[in-house]
Structure 1
Amino acid sequence: MNRAPLSVLAAVTALAAITGIAALTAPGDRADGAGAKAPARLPVERAGLLCPSVGHSEGAKTTYTSFTPPTPEPADGTDGNRPAVRPGTAELRPAGAPFPAPERKPAPDKAPAAVPGTDDGPRRAEPVLALKAPGTPVAVPAPGGDAPALVGTATAALAPGWTAQQTTVLPNGRARALLGAACTAPGTDFWFPGASTAKGRQDYLHLVNPDDTPAVADIEILGRDGRVRGTLPDGLPVPAGAGLPVLLSTLTAEELPDATVRVTTRTGRVGAVVRTAEDGAGGDWLAASAAPSATVVMPGIPADATSVRLVVLAPGDADAELRAGLASPGGTFGLVGHETVRV
């Protein structure tokens, strides 16, 4: 007759035990009162930049500038979860495979000695520029008037926000100019609207391979009617750790006043930038375009400009229709006859 009450009592006891275990193992309710820690914010530990080659021109002067911004202090005056950061280095070195040291013949009565950087392996070229500390820019001239392609690496405290710039003055020639280019990070896909293979233009595509293995790049030129047939076979080898300039007019027989160049890599990665030069007008560096977008704002058209061209590329499989306008101190207005452009 007591079997039913005993069964109920056993069930109540079991439920109480399960409830107790659940309370003891509930998430975020540890016995020591310490909850889960927030993930730590780790700084950038390594950054790479590539500077194109300006080459050697009589009277040309090139200056390299490098800068890493100082680390901002936390708003509450504490370091939070940020770990200590090592001092680090930031250097720009000439591109090119490491060169071997001169051969050393050991004395007959002595065994060969290992000399760091020689018998132990190849030596690297000395850095053209070395940054010392964040918050202090460093500027140095190109050695000997020659401005080769540079490969840069920054580590530890000098890596977050590290940037480098090269500025060249060409005082002579039909394309004399002031050229400025920010050294860029390596990648695998680049677009360059605004290039040209027309008469009077000398546009060079500069490729820089920062790695120790060769890269293979494909160069595609597009004009008003799409892809242009070129003379360059598919797959351009870019030697390890080296820079390679390519004259665009040698890739196709067509004269294209407005062309778009696309660079992709099959293997490895490269830095890419186009140097333009036009007889009687000067020259400059043409950086890779931003990612395609539905809205693009391009500031900086000079007030005294007499010839400005807008080059548009539709990279997808469908046509694009766009509206173009100019913004001035007096407001925004459309382009007469070009209120709508179909690409």
Structure 2
Amino acid sequence: MNRTTLSLIAGATALAAVTGFAAVTSPDTSAPDTTATAAELPVERTSLTCPTPSVSDLAETTYTSFTPVTKGTGSDGKAELRPAVTESTDGEDAKDGKTGKASGKGDKDGKGEKEAKAFLTAKEPGKPLAEDVSGSDSPALVGTADGKFAPGWTVQQTTEVAAGTGRGLLGAACTAPDTDFWFPGASTAADRTDYVHLVNPDDSAAVVDIELYGRDGALETTTGEGITVAPHSDDPVLLSTLTTEKLDNVTVHVSVRSGRVGASVQALDDKLGGDWLGASVDPAGSLVIPGIPKDATAVRLIAFAPGDADADLKVRLASPTGQITPAGNETLHLKAGMTGAVDLGDVMRGEPGSLVLT
């Protein structure tokens, strides 16, 4: 991605100001404390999903796996990434073209299917392990880690595309499957080709709804409800096929009716290149978005206010010399259920920094 331009389209920008405050009362210290202290145990199992990295024949992808050393985990365990495809026992690959969809072959009880060969197997906690893959046939991956490999297991997916739409360096952390995701910063504009990738790691199908929100609220969609994602598959959905509206700034909401999926948005711009959008963090009273490079000349903040209440954001910039207020963009008002955006331009003026929202 051209690093002289930057959209703050990490989902963290979106849900910062819509929070509630709980009243807290002090306990009666005159009464004896009978609360039992719960034992803290290491995580025993971790699941991750990695979307299909690219459809370009020029793509070069590196997966990096790492688990920190954690006390109390014992000596057993493993961490593996496997292709999100299903193979039948007759030796015929059940992958449906380049979409990664499972064909559903095999017995209803699953006995007619066999597990795909592991693409990456971690060797030892505390030491990173990397595997490379080339071309457009690279499938989505589903990973599980247990025992000593489970606590803190992470996988980074980095793809270099030399030319064409979406060229550049695309990076994403493989995500845990869940049932609800928000992605500010997507687009249905003519010069953008944005996909939401839905990776189903389980043995049963998942049913997913996709909602889109623009500057005036929810967009009318045609095929975003009841999307069935086959077991062990990655279903990439082109956002521009869900609505007739062409908007630069769109928020995507992925909700799962049944099952669970890993979700990521791949944003591909005809001129600027491409990158992955991670899902937003949970709403918070304050938020820091790091990573604005010093040579960024076109910075855009994209935000979304969920719920029924409007939100007012105070915008600050954290630079090596302290926090400053961007002239003319001190605050951002967000109407409930609507996507807001503000162009900050050459906001860092030659210094790397972070955006601070409260």
User: 1:1-36 deviations in whole A, cap 9, x for unaligned?
Assistant: xxxxxxxxxxxxxxxxxxxxxxxxxxxxxxxxxxxx
1:143 Cα deviation (Å)?
6.3
Aligned twin of 1:88: 77
Give the total of aligned pairs.
284
Equivalence map 1:256-271=2 (5 Å) = 256-271=247-262
2:296 matches 1:297 = no
Aligned twin of 1:184: 175
1:304 Cα deviation (Å)?
1.2
Equivalence map 1:10-49=2 (5 Å) = 40-49=39-48
1:214 Cα deviation (Å)?
0.5
SS at match of 2:77: coil
Aligned twin of 2:229: 238
1:150 Cα deviation (Å)?
0.4
Q: 1:175 to 1:143 in 2, by over 3 A?
A: closer
Separation in structure 1 between the aligned mates of residue 146 and residue 119 of structure 2, nearest angstrom: 17
For structure 1, which segment, 259-268 or 233-242, has the greater mean C-alpha deviation from structure 2 after superposition? 233-242
Separation in structure 2 between the aligned mates of residue 304 and residue 137 of structure 1, nearest angstrom: 30
Identify which of 209, 215, 222 aligns with 1:218.
209
SS at match of 2:88: coil
1:96 Cα deviation (Å)?
2.1
User: 1:68-97 deviations in whole A, cap 9, x for unaligned?
Assistant: 11124xxxxxxxxx5x72421111000023
TM norm structure 2: 0.74
Separation in structure 2 between the aligned mates of residue 341 and residue 57 of structure 1, nearest angstrom: 38
Equivalence map 1:125-144=2 (5 Å) = 125-142=116-133
Which is richer in helix?
1
Equivalence map 1:115-194=2 (5 Å) = 121-142=112-133, 146-194=137-185
RMSD across aligned C-alpha pairs, in angstroms?
2.3
The answer (yes or no) to whether the contact 2:57–2:135 under 8 Å persists in 1 is: no
* Paired amino acid for 1:129: L
Aligned twin of 1:23: none
Flag the structure with larger Rg.
1
User: 1:27-49 deviations in whole A, cap 9, x for unaligned?
Assistant: xxxxxxxxxx9755432221100
SS at match of 2:274: strand
The answer (yes or no) to whether the contact 2:84–2:141 under 8 Å persists in 1 is: yes
Aligned twin of 1:205: 196
Separation in structure 1 between the aligned mates of residue 217 and residue 86 of structure 2, nearest angstrom: 37
Percent identity of paired positions between Structure 1 and Structure 2 = 55
* Paired amino acid for 2:65: S
The answer (yes or no) to whether the contact 2:86–2:113 under 8 Å persists in 1 is: no
Separation in structure 1 between the aligned mates of residue 88 and residue 132 of structure 2, nearest angstrom: 23
Structure 1 unaligned regions, length at least 5: 1-36, 73-81, 104-118
Structure 2 unaligned regions, length at least 5: 1-35, 93-109, 335-358
TM norm structure 1: 0.78
Q: 1:302 to 1:233 in 2, by over 3 A?
A: closer
RCO comparison, higher one (Cα < 8 Å, 6+): 2
* Paired amino acid for 1:70: V
